[in-house]
């Protein structure tokens, strides 16, 4: 499409740019040259409908994990191990670029890939020499995944007539310096996007930005936390007042549970922001928990779609959930949790005691998922993390502390559990063979959650799915897919 023919996205300040769509493609959607070409075809489809896409991409599948492995090898002083991982990554990127691109486009991207990997090697050598990995250098190392994938995807777009242009996310996604989980500065981001990205769209380009990474005002590289590319998409959508945000992944949308655990999971056609946020927070990896907020604030609809099956309608996330005859929309499971029992002798109700317990978690920036109290004890659940020994040492100053690891939280989400009786009975009878360690209903009116052993997750999820999704409401769930699956 020529620059002249491309619809302009200029509007009055604050007004929605209805024809601007932010399209985020996850790691599996850019895992190799074929996947990058599928991505280009999907983006072309949007442009042919008269939309202006801004594209956010993850690192190629598994690259972030491998970069983290290289960083930690270097941090242990294992220079050879770290450089070997980087060399394998360099080859994978070069081979993908060679399959995707030709001519001058290949030469220029090849040069960029070699240059970036030379810089990564230098960085790893430096970390290995010092023998210490700080959160700040770790963010720098992992940022290479999205920095390089966005260059390759932008070049792939150009080769396919989409006028791709890479935008370094670090020029737009301004964050604080909380390395590893930096907090975005939304006003600054909006200003930077208006300055760097809008003119490109209006000139007929398809901007491509790496997700997950950002930089402080001083230009130091940061990351938004694992799975953070979804968050970038929402920040870009919010900052540009986009008409829609599309999260392209490797499943047909938000499903009734993780299809890897339960192959007969069904696609949920529509889900509310509130339900999706609850699911994401409690472990449904399909969406980053922070994704929803910038979209909700500006009422931007979010879609979750399948890049391997682009014709599928996906899931639409909307402000209000449609009426649903089934009590639950989806089941999420969050593993690697630890239960901490804090036991005090008849002191619990003493003024200020609970505060002193929670203050300890606050000091270590440790989020608590579930709490239950009795007269003398508090049980809390937290993500298993390397600060737990320090947290426990502090708690032991005020109480006896007991830790139990390898726990998991199951969270059943649905607007329609409000006011329904008999649901808990059905739920716990479906998993009567599973040992339930803690229960919570009430923190939010739209979820029921409980803690079990990590090893029981698969059995519990399948039993609950069989109980609650045997006869799902066809207006909310894609029951068509189930009848097709059973036919073949
Ligand atoms: P991406 O690389 O595109 O960001 P992710 O691996 O982060 O993809 O998220 C997609 C995966 O989330 C799916 O492959 C699926 O296994 C998992 N998942 C967990 N819970 C759900 C759910 N309720 N609906 C859909 N997918 C889910
Ligand atoms: N590449 C990053 C990760 O694997 C961010 C993302 O893909 O969302 O966590
Ligand atoms: Mg993800």
Under the banding of pLDDT at 50, 70 and 90, the label for residue 10 is: low
Nearest to 22 by CA among 320, 321, 295, 280: 295
pLDDT for the residue numbered 3:
37
Decide whether any atom of ligand 1 lies within 6 Å of the 28 Cβ. yes
- CA distance between the termini of the chain: 41
Nearest CA among 455, 338, 313, 447 for reference residue 389: 338
To test the ligand 2 pocket, which listed residue (64, 139, 144) has its Cβ within 8 A of the most ligand atoms?
64
- At which residue do the structure tokens 């063979």 appear? 433
Q: Which amino acid residue places its CA nearest to atom 6 of ligand 2?
A: 227
Ligand located closest to 250 CA: 1
- Please give the distance, rounded to the nearest whole angstrom, from the Cα atom of residue 255 to the centre of ligand 1: 9
Q: Which atom of ligand 2 is nearest to the CA of 146?
A: 1
62 burial (CB, 10 Å; 0-12 / 13-18 / 19+) is middle
User: Strand 17-25 to strand 221-223: parallel, antiparallel, or no bridges (unpaired)?
Assistant: unpaired
Nearest-atom number in ligand 1 for the CA of 260 is 16
Over residues 305-325, mean pLDDT: 92
Question: To test the ligand 1 pocket, which listed residue (286, 303, 317) has its Cβ within 8 A of the most ligand atoms?
Answer: 286
- Res. 12 pLDDT band, cuts 50 70 90: low
> How many angstroms is it from 116 CA to the middle of ligand 2?
19
**Any atom of ligand 2 within 6 Å of the Cβ of 27:** yes
* pLDDT for residue 107: 98
What spacing in Å lies between the alpha carbon of 284 and ligand 1's midpoint?
A: 7
Residue of minimum CA distance from atom 8 in ligand 2 = 227
Atom of ligand 2 nearest to the CA of 26: 7
Instruction: Report how far ligand 3's centroid is from the alpha carbon of 359 (Å).
Output: 31
CA 73 / ligand 3 centre spacing (Å): 25
Whether 226 lines ligand 2, by a CB cut-off of 6 Å, is yes
**pLDDT grade, residue 25 (50/70/90)?**
very high
* Percent of the chain surpassing pLDDT 70: 93
Q: Which atom of ligand 1 is nearest to the CA of 256?
A: 23
131: left (phi over 0), alpha (psi -120 to 50) or beta: left
Q: What confidence tens digit (pLDDT) does each residue in 181-202 have?
A: 999 999 999 999 999 999 999 9
Of all ligands present, the nearest one to the C-alpha of 233 is 2
What would the two tokens of residue 397 be?
A: 């100053």
pLDDT tens digits along 425-451: 899 999 999 999 888 766 567 889 999
Cα 246 to Cα 45, 188, 218, 301, 360: the distances in Å are 13, 23, 31, 9, 39
**Nearest ligand 1 atom to alpha carbon 249:** 3
Q: What is the rounded CA–CA span in Å between residue 448 and residue 178?
A: 32
Q: How does pLDDT run across 203-250, given as a tens digit for each residue?
A: 999 999 999 999 999 999 999 999 999 999 999 999 999 999 999 999
Cα dihedral across residues 182, 188, 193, 195: positive or negative: negative
Q: CA gyration radius for the chain?
A: 24
- How close is the Cα of 448 to the center of ligand 2, in Å? 28
313-326 burial by CB neighbour count: b if 16+ within 10 A, else e?
ebbbbeeebeebeb
Strands (E), 104-226: 164-167, 206-210, 213-215, 221-223
Ligand 1, atom 1, lies closest to the CA of 26
3-state secondary structure of 387: coil
Question: pLDDT band at 32, cuts 50/70/90?
Answer: very high
pTM given for the model:
0.92
Between the ranges 34-38, 434-438, 470-474, where is the mean pLDDT highest?
34-38
- The continuous run of DSSP H or E covering 368 comes out as strand 368-373
Q: Taking a C-beta distance cutoff of 8 angstroms, is the pair 257, 331 a contact?
A: yes
Cβ of 210 less than 6 Å from ligand 2: no
Instruction: Please give the Cα distance from 348 to 399 (Å, whole number).
Output: 10
Nearest-atom number in ligand 2 for the CA of 288 is 8
* pLDDT above 90: residue 347: no
- Mean pLDDT for 341-362 is 80
Q: Is 214 in the pocket of ligand 2 (CB under 6 A)?
A: no
**Phi, psi torsion values for 453, nearest 5 degrees:** -70, 145
Ligand 2 atom nearest the C-alpha of 230 is 8
Do residues 44 and 160 make contact, with C-beta atoms less than 8 angstroms apart?
yes
Better-scored residue on pLDDT, 211 or 325? 211
388 vs 44, residue with greater confidence: 44
């Amino acid at each position: 499409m020529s620059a002249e023919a491309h619809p302009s996205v200029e509007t009055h300040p604050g007004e929605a740019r209805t024809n601007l769509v932010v399209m985020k493609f996850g790691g599996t959607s850019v895992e190799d040259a074929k996947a990058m070409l599928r991505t280009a075809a999907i983006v072309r489809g949007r442009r042919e409908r008269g939309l202006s896409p801004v594209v956010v991409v993850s690192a190629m599948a598994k690259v972030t994990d491998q970069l983290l492995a290289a960083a930690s090898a270097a941090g242990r002083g294992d220079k050879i191990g770290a450089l070997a991982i980087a060399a394998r990554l360099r080859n994978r990127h070069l081979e993908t670029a060679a399959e995707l691109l030709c001519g001058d486009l290949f030469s220029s991207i090849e040069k960029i890939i070699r240059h970036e990997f030379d810089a990564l090697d230098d960085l790893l050598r430096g970390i290995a020499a010092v023998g210490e990995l700080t959160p700040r250098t770790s963010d720098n190392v992992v940022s290479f995944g999205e920095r390089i994938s966005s260059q390759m995807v932008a070049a792939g777009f150009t080769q396919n007539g989409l006028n791709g242009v890479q935008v370094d996310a670090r020029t737009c996604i301004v964050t604080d310096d909380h390395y590893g989980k930096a907090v975005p500065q939304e006003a600054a981001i909006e200003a930077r996007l208006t300055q760097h990205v809008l003119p490109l769209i209006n000139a007929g380009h398809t901007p491509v930005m790496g997700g997950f990474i950002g930089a402080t005002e001083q230009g130091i590289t940061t990351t938004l936390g694992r799975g953070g590319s979804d968050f970038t998409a929402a920040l870009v959508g919010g900052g540009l007042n986009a008409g829609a945000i599309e999260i392209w992944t490797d499943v047909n949308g938000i499903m009734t549970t993780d299809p890897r655990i339960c192959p007969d999971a069904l696609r949920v056609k529509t889900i509310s922001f509130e339900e999706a946020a609850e699911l994401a927070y409690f472990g449904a990896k399909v969406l980053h928990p922070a994704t929803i907020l910038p979209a909700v604030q500006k009422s931007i609809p979010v879609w979750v779609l399948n890049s391997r099956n682009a014709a599928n309608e996906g899931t639409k996330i909307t402000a209000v959930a449609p009426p649903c005859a089934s009590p639950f929309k989806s089941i999420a499971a969050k593993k690697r949790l630890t239960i901490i029992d804090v036991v005090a002798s008849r002191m619990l109700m003493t003024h200020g005691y609970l505060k002193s317990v929670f203050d300890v978690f606050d000091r270590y920036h440790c989020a608590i998922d579930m709490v239950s109290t009795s007269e003398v004890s508090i049980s809390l659940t937290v993500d298993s993390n390397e600060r737990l020994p320090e947290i426990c040492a502090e708690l032991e100053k005020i109480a006896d502390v007991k830790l139990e690891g390898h726990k998991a939280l199951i969270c059943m989400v649905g607007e329609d559990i409000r006011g329904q009786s008999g649901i808990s009975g059905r739920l716990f009878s479906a998993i009567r063979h599973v040992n339930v360690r803690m229960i919570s209903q009430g923190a939010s009116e739209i979820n029921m959650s409980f803690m079990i052993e990590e090893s029981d997750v698969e059995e519990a999820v399948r039993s609950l799915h069989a109980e609650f999704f045997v006869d799902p409401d066809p207006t909310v769930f894609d029951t068509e897919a189930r009848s097709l699956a059973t036919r073949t």
